[in-house]
Amino acid sequence: MSQVSQEYILEMTDIVKEFPGVRALKGVQLKVRPGTVHTLMGENGAGKSTLMKCLIGIHPPTSGKIVFGGKEVRFKTTLEALNAGISMIHQELSPVPERSVAENLWLGRAPRRGLRVDHKKMREDSIALFKKLDLDLDPDDKMGDLTVAKMQMVEIAKAVSYDSRIVIMDEPTSSLTDAEVEQLFKIIADLKAKNVAIIYISHKMDEIFRISDDITVYRDGEYIATDRAENLNVDKVIQLMVGREVTDMFPKVECPIGETILKVEHLSAGRAVKDVSFELHRGEILGFAGLVGAGRTETAETIFGMRRMTGGKLYKDGKEIHIKSPEQAIANKIALLTEDRRGNGIVGLLSIKDNTVLANLKQYGFPLNHKRIRADTEEYVKKLNTKTPTIETPIQNLSGGNQQKVLVGRWLLTDPDILIVDEPTRGIDVGAKAEIHSLITRLAGEGKAIIMISSELPEVMGMSDRIVVMHEGTMTAIVDRKDFSSELILKYATSETPYQPAEA
Ligand SMILES: Nc1ncnc2c1ncn2[C@@H]1O[C@H](COP(=O)(O)OP(=O)(O)OP(=O)(O)O)[C@@H](O)[C@H]1O
Ligand SMILES: [Mg+2]
């Protein structure tokens, strides 16, 4: 048997993890070879993140055996795991927003001179690290000012900086652009060359097949299979994950496009959004494409009153509207499903139920009608197939993808006329993705208007009637469905020329 432990840097066997009322892991295994990328796959709630948290000492496993580097281990804290050589990039980022990038990077291990933090050295070490990893980050920036993508890059740099023998990456690319993903893949290749093992968790099939050496699939807390990536393909993996076939990824249904519901005229917000104009119609799904930094999220935030409008006008049903806060947007029946569920979205300690009705409390009268609150929550849990023991469960206990579903439910419940969704299926597994897509399509069919921001071109092209393309805050094109092609959209996404509407 000694040969087996030579072969694997990590062997987890018969791992069981019970939370009150949930058997999250029912005796699973994972065997990771050094110098490889080992990808964990499975639907939302399958147990991937939990298994990793059992490994690095966040959750004590209920039972099971962990052998790391030939020795049986049981880490009690993440610090112990780090010191032993295992670091992790978490699915839910938890930066300290008011501190600098450098301070976040060296949190708890800042270089010192005597009793004081050596800020100069900390800056220099940060710059050296960013240079080594070829990352465009500034150590002096305030963490809270960064985009989600940049925060994710800081997390990646941090995990790599520990010189670990295993680096766990739980959905590291969920908000990265293609270029940033390429950078990450370069970092991964370097780590592999140093015989570091990477445990990779992602729902993005194309990237999984590009970088994985081995793939292990879990379903409902059970181990299903491990195989070399070259022996698998997308269909086989989905079959293993779901236990059934998934069709209908982008169920576009042609529905009649009605009159204009929202007119955006010369919208500007500082330097982030420059002179954006478009019309949105009832029954329409209007996609927004572009690279990160294109200003799509910022445009959405401005319409929703989260960001100050510095120029332009908004009209709803032909009447000018003034939106200076999300409350005013909601009053105008506009809803926004945000990209960053941690920062603007979920309230971790509150229940599924409270998180579902949060944007909508007024509707339940005073005193609150708890019976209706429960009924509405149950309805959306069912509609979206959210995996949770009860609706009273704190949302932080749900898997990442299931948290996202609760947020989708929250905004649907406000019964908006205009629903803006920013990366709605990020971190969502293939089956649930298809469900959210058909839900969005159904809403359009009911005459609602949808703005859909997505960095996944197949998704935005599959779902939209038209696509607005942006580049660095400027709108560069509006493309009709009949003209969709990834080449054309990418061309506009990198174009410097502002869109010129054809004269009628
Ligand atoms: N702290 C916790 N308390 C109670 N239950 C939990 C806790 N953490 C996770 N669970 C439950 O364990 C199960 C597995 O969740 P886990 O986060 O591991 O899923 P996952 O495979 O990472 O899914 P995703 O792809 O959505 O991130 C889920 O049913 C989840 O609700
Ligand atoms: Mg997870």
Task: Give the domain ranges of the chain.
Answer: 5-242
With 70 as the cut, is the pLDDT of residue 343 above it? no
Q: Closest Cα to residue 350, out of 260, 283, 290, 410? A: 410
**Ligand 1 pocket residue status of 174, Cβ below 6 Å:** no
**Confidence tier at 408 by pLDDT (50, 70, 90):** confident
Note the CATH number of domain 5-242: 3.40.50.300
Work out the average pLDDT over 40-62: 94
With 50 as the cut, is the pLDDT of residue 230 above it? yes
Tell me the percentage of the chain whose pLDDT exceeds 70. Answer: 95
What was the pLDDT predicted at 11?
Answer: 98
Identify which of 12, 39, 43, 49 to mutate to test ligand 1's pocket (most ligand atoms within 8 A of the CB): 49
Tens of pLDDT, residues 239-275? 888 776 555 566 677 778 999 999 999 999 999 999 9
Quote the tokens at residue 46.
Answer: 């399958």
Q: What is the reported pTM?
A: 0.76
Range name among 132-141, 294-303, 399-408 with the lowest pLDDT average: 399-408
Quote the tokens at residue 42.
Answer: 């499975």
Tens of pLDDT, residues 6-39? 589 999 999 999 998 789 999 999 999 999 999 9
Tens of pLDDT, residues 274-333? 999 999 999 999 999 998 779 999 999 999 999 999 999 999 999 999 999 999 999 999
Counting other chains too, the contacts that 343-351 makes at CB distance below 8 Å and 24 or more residues apart are 343/148, 344/306, 345/403, 345/407, 346/395, 346/396, 346/403, 346/406, 346/407, 347/395, 348/394, 348/395, 348/396, 349/394, 349/396, 350/394, 350/395, 351/391, 351/392, 351/393, 351/394, 351/395
With 50 as the cut, is the pLDDT of residue 4 above it? no
Q: Are 412 and 438 in contact (CB under 8 A)?
A: no
Q: What mean pLDDT, rounded, does the chain reach?
A: 90
**Ligand 1 pocket residue status of 401, Cβ below 6 Å:** yes
**Confidence tier at 2 by pLDDT (50, 70, 90):** very low
**Of the bound ligands, which one is closest to the alpha carbon of residue 59?**
1
What was the pLDDT predicted at 450?
Answer: 96
Residue of minimum CA distance from atom 3 in ligand 1:
397
- Tell me the three state secondary structure of residue 291: coil
With 50 as the cut, is the pLDDT of residue 499 above it? yes
What was the pLDDT predicted at 345?
Answer: 72
Q: Which of 294-308, 391-405, 436-450 has the highest mean pLDDT?
A: 294-308
- pLDDT higher for 242 or 497? 497
**Of the bound ligands, which one is closest to the alpha carbon of residue 42?**
1
What was the pLDDT predicted at 3?
Answer: 42
What CA–CA distances, in Å, run from 459 to 145, 350, 355? 28, 31, 27
**Ligand 1 pocket residue status of 326, Cβ below 6 Å:** no
Range name among 324-328, 389-393, 431-435 with the lowest pLDDT average: 431-435
**Ligand 1 pocket residue status of 404, Cβ below 6 Å:** no
